[in-house]
């Protein structure tokens, strides 16, 4: 806890947790997009499949590293009352319990996926594959966590970053669904439907939600922090 | 083949005790068209099984070893198509880890083969004797008899037979006897597919090793033998190896059931001795009804022999090997000279492609490409180098799947190219001939709907595993 | 003791990474499936073969160790999933 910095303005940890969170989201999106596309087997002589596959694996591992930093810095930061428990057990925190809880859920899912992938030699292929499908849940949950918990929803940089993450994954899903259509129409239909529903949800919810008025209060920021939240939000806009 | 199968001229019930004439019929002895041989009839024709030597464990093992030795001396080879030495397989199962299981394979997915269901229908007790003996030989506690789910008469006969035996249990020989019906698609009778199905999975081949004889059903050593093979075992146990060897050839002794179909007076299931000439079989069937263009030996995984060679063909391994053929599962299909061998081959190739269970890329893509090429060649003509294209596709398809299905189809196709090369050249130049439009002669069960349903059921269509394979099927495939 | 490379055609889904990582033994047919040369691999080739087997997303590529008549599946994949 850096008391001297706290006296001056938002702490270093506060910046670090937001930035590491954003980077983790970006890396996770790269991993998910590549995971979706890898099965396409689009490769060129300069980008052989094993390279794309390695990038997929390494992006996921790196995302986990940034995720751990994101969690540690948010715990260490003195502003919001977040403990380590809140990172793995969802919905028990005092600070924006639902939206922070989503982060915990996403973290749990990502850890499960990565551990099973590291141990995939020990489990059968079908069990490994079943676990791996959890990633499709972890990504949107992480994204919503970012929108709901973060204080930067109104900033251009976060909006651009989020747009990049969204476009990467949605484009990958669309490409995957389109190629080989209409084979496996039920899964492809479900993917399209899910993507459509999620996108529609974002379009409807974002303006009245995180981008709307008094989101900090509505999302469950403890009352004692609300004044500070405004200060921080204003500070980060500069 | 249409109409009910028939057997050779009925032999009167023989009151055989011990001695048996070294002539035919053997398996079909006493068989009549009114239904199955009852237990009493069966014992009357063939006599009792030899007594079990001792019931104690150690004596039991001596008995088992003696039985396998006798089978080895007899030179019995499997009758499911692979002609593998039966005694060798039994020894391997007997020395495996865990309690063995015997599976009597009567699945018979080959459309042109009727021998197994006929044997099960007419002489179920012979098969059951053999299965029980095999169980003793490998120290198995369970016997599963498999019949095709569409062979109602065979299933009924087996049910009756098992019930008859339940009423009269034999001391010391009672492995549990189960009857299971299995799907009728082509590959369902393949050894590992059958074991897979019996274990609760789909009727699709599995990756080997381990082969069923070391680790099969419930990971136990599993002896999978064709029902006809087991029937021979039942006779060898009664009459001995020297008796068995009185018929047949030195390398392929004994008798065999063959299904003869095509333009003959009496198509059906016949019992021959190995090495009998094709001519004598056709004679027994009342002779041909039209001219013959060629014969397909061994079924749809077998080989074509063109008419100029048919006169000298003898039905045994070593004689047929010279023509690149085997007897396979005892299938002899004659093609009339009014049929177009190119069109027929194309149709069979397409059917075989459809019978792929689509687990392995080279099989599903290769057979599909081969069928497409043959169809194009047969009906629309093709470039002069089409033969090379077919050979290239064949080399990409054979021996690259988990089972022998693609190998069989390739064998059939390449043998057709050789046996009928004149016809193929004509079709390449001019496309369809006037015989192409005739109704198909080779039996291809019009079970498209039921086959598809059967394969959907067994391959779990819609699961991500199967789905992925099908993705590739549509994307790949140059012809 | 020699090692050989083999593919489980049921599990193989034509990802094609084996051909990239072990071109000395694996080429792809026109449908993307591996054609495996089963001659023995030694030394540095063996290391590449093991790496290729690890990289296969479905563990379809196998490196078998042979002692005489026994073939032991050595590499990744506790049981051959279909």
For A201-219, how does the pLDDT look when each residue is reduced to its tens digit (9 = 90+)? Answer: 988 888 888 887 777 778 7
Q: Please indicate whether residue C66 or residue B216 has the higher confidence score (pLDDT).
A: B216
Q: What are the residues whose beta carbons fall under 8 Å from the beta carbon of B337, sequence distance 6 or more?
A: B290, B291, B292, B293, B307
pLDDT-based confidence at A14, cuts 50/70/90?
A: confident
Structure tokens at B58: 């150690």
Q: Inspect the interface and report whether the beta carbons of C57 and A50 lie closer than 8 Å.
A: no
CB contacts < 8 A, A to B, total 17
How many domains does chain A divide into? 1
Question: Testing the interface with C: which of A53, A125, A130, A184 to mutate, by most C Cβ within 10 A?
Answer: A125
Q: Is 60 exceeded by the pLDDT of residue B7?
A: no
The yes-or-no verdict on residue A141 having pLDDT over 50 is yes
- CB atoms closer than 10 angstroms to residue C54: 17
Is residue C81 domain-resident? Answer: no
Q: What is the pLDDT of residue B330?
A: 93
Looking at the complex, does the CB of residue B471 fall below 8 Å from at least one CB of chain A? yes
Which candidate from B204, B361, B401 shows the least CB-CB separation from C31? Answer: B361
- pLDDT of B271 reads 93
pLDDT, chain B, mean:
85
Average pLDDT over residues C39-62: 92
In angstroms, rounded to a whole number, what is the distance separating the alpha carbons of residues B413 and B31?
37
User: Is the whole model's pTM more than 0.80, yes or no?
Assistant: yes
In this prediction, residue C68 carries a pLDDT of: 52
Chain A residues 148-167 within an 8 A CB cutoff of chain B: none
Predicted confidence at residue B53, as pLDDT, reads 57
B467 to A184: CB separation less than 8 angstroms, yes or no: yes
Residue % of chain C over a pLDDT of 90? 62
Q: How sure is the predictor about B467, in pLDDT bands with cuts at 50, 70 and 90? A: very low
Please list every residue in chain B whose beta carbon sits closer than 8 Å to the beta carbon of residue C33. Answer: 361-362, 365, 400
pLDDT at B275 over 60: yes
Name the residue in chain B with its Cα closest to that of C6. B400
pLDDT over 90 percentage in chain B? 69
- Show residues of chain A in contact with B467, CB under 8 Å: 183-184, 187
pLDDT at B455 over 60: no
Structural domain that includes position A128? 3-237
Cα–Cα dist C19/B193, whole Å: 29
Q: Is the pLDDT of residue B169 over 70?
A: no
Tell me the pLDDT of chain C averaged across its residues: 83
- Residue A230, pLDDT score: 55
pLDDT of residue B59: 60
Q: Which residue has the higher pLDDT, A9 or B197?
A: B197
Least confident of A126-135, B133-142, B282-291, B325-334: A126-135
Give the DSSP H/E element, type plus range, for residue C66: strand C61-67
Distance from CA of C64 to the nearest CA of B (A): 11
pLDDT band at C2 (very low <50, low <70, confident <90, very high): confident
Over range C15-39, report the average pLDDT. Answer: 93
Q: Is A187 on the interface with B (CB under 8 A)?
A: yes
Q: Which residues of B touch A186 (CB under 8 A)?
A: 462
Domains contained in chain B, CATH given:
39-244 (3.40.50.11540), 255-336 (3.10.20.600), 341-475 (1.20.1440.230)
How many independent structural domains does chain C possess? Answer: 1
Q: What is the pLDDT of residue B173?
A: 63
Give the CATH number, domain containing residue C44. 3.30.70.20
Closest-CA distance, B196 to chain A, in angstroms, reads: 17
Lowest mean pLDDT among A103-107, B46-50, B419-423: B46-50
Interface membership of A183 toward B (CB under 8 Å): yes
Chain B touched by A237 (CB under 8 Å): no
Is C72 a domain residue? no
The answer as to whether C47 is a domain residue is: yes
CA separation for the pair B235, B146 (Å, rounded): 20
How far apart are alpha carbons B87 and B77 in whole angstroms?
8
Which one of C12, C71, C82 has the shortest CB-CB distance to B361?
C12
Minimal C-alpha gap between C63 and chain A (Å): 14
First-to-final CA distance of chain B: 32
Average pLDDT of the residues in B40-57: 77
Q: Which of B448, B25, B477, B432 is nearest to B235 (CA)?
A: B25
Of A140-144, B163-167, B287-291, which range is least confident?
Answer: B163-167
**Helices (H), ranges, B381-476:** 386-397, 405-419, 421-430, 448-459, 464-475
Per CB-CB distance under 8 Å, the chain C contacts of B360 are 9-10, 12
Q: Which residue has the higher pLDDT, A77 or B304?
A: B304
A-C C-beta contacts closer than 8 Å? 37
Q: Which residues does A203 contact at the CB level (< 8 Å), separation at least 6?
A: none
pLDDT given at position A228: 57
pLDDT tops 50 at residue B309 = yes
Alpha helices in A96-155 (DSSP H): 97-118, 125-132, 135-149
Q: Output the pLDDT for position A235.
A: 56
Burial label, B100 (beta-carbon count in 10 A; 0-12, 13-18, 19+): buried
Q: What is the pLDDT of residues B251-274, one digit of tens each?
A: 999 999 999 999 999 999 999 999
Q: Which residues of A touch C63 (CB under 8 A)?
A: none
Mean pLDDT of A14-40: 88
pLDDT at position B460 over 60 = no
CA distance B81 to B326: 8
Between B341 and B9, residue with greater pLDDT: B341
Examine residue C78 and state whether it is found in any structural domain, yes or no: no
- pLDDT tens digits, residue range B113-154? 999 999 999 999 999 999 999 999 999 999 999 999 999 999
Q: Return the pLDDT at A79.
A: 76
Integer angstrom CA distances of residue A76 from A2, A83, A110, A111: 9, 8, 22, 21
**Does any CB of chain C come closer than 8 Å to the CB of residue B399?**
no
More confident call, A3 vs B310:
B310
Chains linked to B by 3 or more Cβ pairs within 8 Å: A, C
C28 touching chain A per CB within 8 A = no
Q: Report the pLDDT value the prediction gives residue C77, as an integer from 0 to 100.
A: 42
The predicted model gives A156-160 an average pLDDT of 87
Does the pLDDT at position C81 exceed 80? no
The minimum CA-CA distance between A52 and chain C, rounded to whole Å, is 10
Whole-number Å distance between alpha carbons of B316 and B303 = 14
Q: Which residues of B touch A124 (CB under 8 A)?
A: none
pLDDT reading at A37 higher than 50: yes
Residue C12 lies in a domain: yes
Q: What is the mean pLDDT of residues C40-63?
A: 92
Q: Residue B4 and residue B27: Cα distance in Å, rounded?
A: 19
* Statement: residue A134 has pLDDT above 50: yes
Q: Are C7 and C62 in contact (CB under 8 A)?
A: yes
Comparing CB atoms, the residue among B462, B465, B467 nearest residue A126 is: B465
Q: What is the pLDDT of residue B449?
A: 41
Statement: residue A164 has pLDDT above 90: yes
Each residue's pLDDT tens digit, A50-106: 888 889 999 999 999 999 999 999 888 877 778 888 888 888 888 888 888 999 999
Establish if C67 touches chain A: CB-CB under 8 angstroms.
Answer: no
Percent of chain A whose predicted confidence (pLDDT) is above 70: 89
What residues contact residue B53 under an 8 Å CB cut-off, 6+ apart?
A: B59, B60, B62, B63, B66
State the residue range of the domain holding C49: 2-67
Averaged pLDDT for residues B460-476: 27
Contact A184 B474 (CB under 8 A): no
Return the residue of B nearest to A186 by Cα. Answer: B462
Chain A: residue whose CA lies nearest to B467: A184
| Listed range (A104-113, B52-61, C71-80) with the worst mean pLDDT | C71-80
Residue A1 clears pLDDT 80, i.e. is over it: no
Interface check C37 vs B, CB under 8 A: no
> Do the Cβ atoms of B359 and C13 come within 8 Å?
no
Residues from chain B that touch C12, judged by Cβ atoms under 8 A, are: 360-361
């Amino acid at each position: 806890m850096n008391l001297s910095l706290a006296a001056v303005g938002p702490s270093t940890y506060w910046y670090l947790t937001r930035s590491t969170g954003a980077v983790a989201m970006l890396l996770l999106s790269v991993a998910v997009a590549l995971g979706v596309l890898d099965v396409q087997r689009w490769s060129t002589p300069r980008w052989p499949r094993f390279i794309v596959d390695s990038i997929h694996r390494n992006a996921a591992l790196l995302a986990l590293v940034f995720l751990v930093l994101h969690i540690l810095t948010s715990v260490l930061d003195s502003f919001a009352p977040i403990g380590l428990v809140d990172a793995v057990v969802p919905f028990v925190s005092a600070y924006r319990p639902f939206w922070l809880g989503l982060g915990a859920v996403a973290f749990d899912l990502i850890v499960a996926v990565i551990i099973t992938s590291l141990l995939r030699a020990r489990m059968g292929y079908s069990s490994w594959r079943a676990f791996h499908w959890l990633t499709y849940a972890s990504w949107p949950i992480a994204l919503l966590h970012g929108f709901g918990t973060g204080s930067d929803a109104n900033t251009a940089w976060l909006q651009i970053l989020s747009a990049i993450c969204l476009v990467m994954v949605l484009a990958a899903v669309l490409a995957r669904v389109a190629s080989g259509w209409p084979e496996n129409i039920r899964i492809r239909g479900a993917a399209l439907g899910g993507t459509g529903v999620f996108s529609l949800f974002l379009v409807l919810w974002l303006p009245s939600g995180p981008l709307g008025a008094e989101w900090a209060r509505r999302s469950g920021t403890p009352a004692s922090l609300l004044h500070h939240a405004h200060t921080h939000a204003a500070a980060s806009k500069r | 083949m249409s109409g009910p199968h028939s057997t050779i001229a009925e032999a009167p019930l023989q009151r055989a005790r011990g001695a048996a004439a070294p002539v035919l019929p053997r398996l079909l002895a006493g068989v009549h068209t009114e239904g199955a041989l009852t237990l009493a009839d069966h014992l009357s024709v063939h006599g009792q099984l030899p007594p079990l030597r001792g019931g104690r464990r150690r004596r039991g093992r001596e008995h088992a070893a003696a039985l396998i030795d006798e089978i080895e001396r007899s030179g019995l080879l499997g009758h499911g198509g692979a002609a593998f030495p039966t005694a060798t397989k039994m020894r391997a199962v007997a020395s495996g880890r865990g309690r063995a299981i015997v599976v009597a394979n009567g699945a018979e997915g080959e459309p042109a083969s009727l021998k197994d269901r006929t044997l099960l229908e007419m002489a179920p007790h012979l098969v059951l004797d053999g299965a029980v003996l095999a169980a003793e030989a490998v120290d198995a506690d369970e016997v599963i008899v498999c019949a095709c789910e569409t062979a109602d008469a065979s299933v009924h006969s087996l049910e009756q037979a098992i019930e008859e035996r339940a009423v009269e249990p034999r001391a010391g020989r009672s492995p549990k006897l189960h009857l299971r019906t299995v799907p009728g698609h082509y590959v369902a009778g393949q050894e590992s597919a059958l074991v897979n199905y019996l274990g609760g999975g789909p009727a699709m081949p599995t990756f080997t090793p381990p082969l069923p004889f070391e680790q099969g059903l419930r990971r136990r050593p599993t002896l999978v033998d064709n029902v006809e093979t087991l029937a021979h075992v039942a006779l060898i146990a009664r009459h001995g190896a020297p008796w068995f060897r009185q018929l047949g050839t030195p390398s392929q002794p004994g008798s065999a059931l063959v299904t003869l179909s095509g333009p003959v007076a009496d198509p059906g299931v016949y019992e021959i001795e190995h090495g009998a000439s094709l001519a004598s079989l056709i004679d027994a069937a009342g002779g041909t009804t039209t001219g013959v263009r060629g014969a397909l030996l061994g079924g749809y995984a077998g080989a074509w022999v063109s008419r100029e060679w048919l006169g000298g063909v003898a039905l045994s391994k070593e004689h047929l090997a010279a023509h690149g053929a085997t007897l396979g599962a005892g299938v002899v299909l004659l093609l009339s000279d009014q049929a177009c061998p190119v069109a027929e081959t194309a149709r069979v190739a397409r059917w075989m492609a459809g019978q792929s269970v689509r687990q392995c890329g080279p099989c599903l893509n290769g057979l599909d490409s081969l069928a497409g090429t043959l169809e194009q060649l047969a009906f629309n003509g093709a470039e002069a180098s089409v033969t090379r294209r077919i050979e290239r596709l064949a080399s990409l398809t054979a021996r690259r799947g988990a089972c022998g299905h693609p190998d069989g189809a390739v064998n059939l196709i390449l043998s057709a190219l050789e046996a009928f090369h004149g016809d193929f050249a004509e079709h390449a130049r001019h496309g369809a001939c006037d015989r192409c439009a005739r109704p198909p002669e080779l039996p291809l069960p019009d079970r498209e709907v039921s086959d598809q349903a059967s394969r959907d059921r067994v391959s779990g269509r819609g699961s991500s595993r199967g789905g992925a394979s099908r993705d590739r099927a549509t994307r790949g495939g140059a012809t | 003791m020699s090692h050989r490379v083999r593919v489980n055609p049921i599990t193989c889904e034509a990802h094609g990474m084996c051909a990239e990582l072990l071109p000395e033994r694996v080429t792809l047919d026109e449908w993307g499936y591996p054609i495996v040369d089963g001659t023995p691999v030694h030394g540095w080739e063996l290391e590449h073969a093991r790496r290729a087997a690890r990289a296969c997303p479905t563990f379809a590529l196998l490196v078998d160790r042979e002692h005489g008549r026994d073939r032991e599946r050595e590499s990744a994949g506790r049981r051959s999933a279909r």
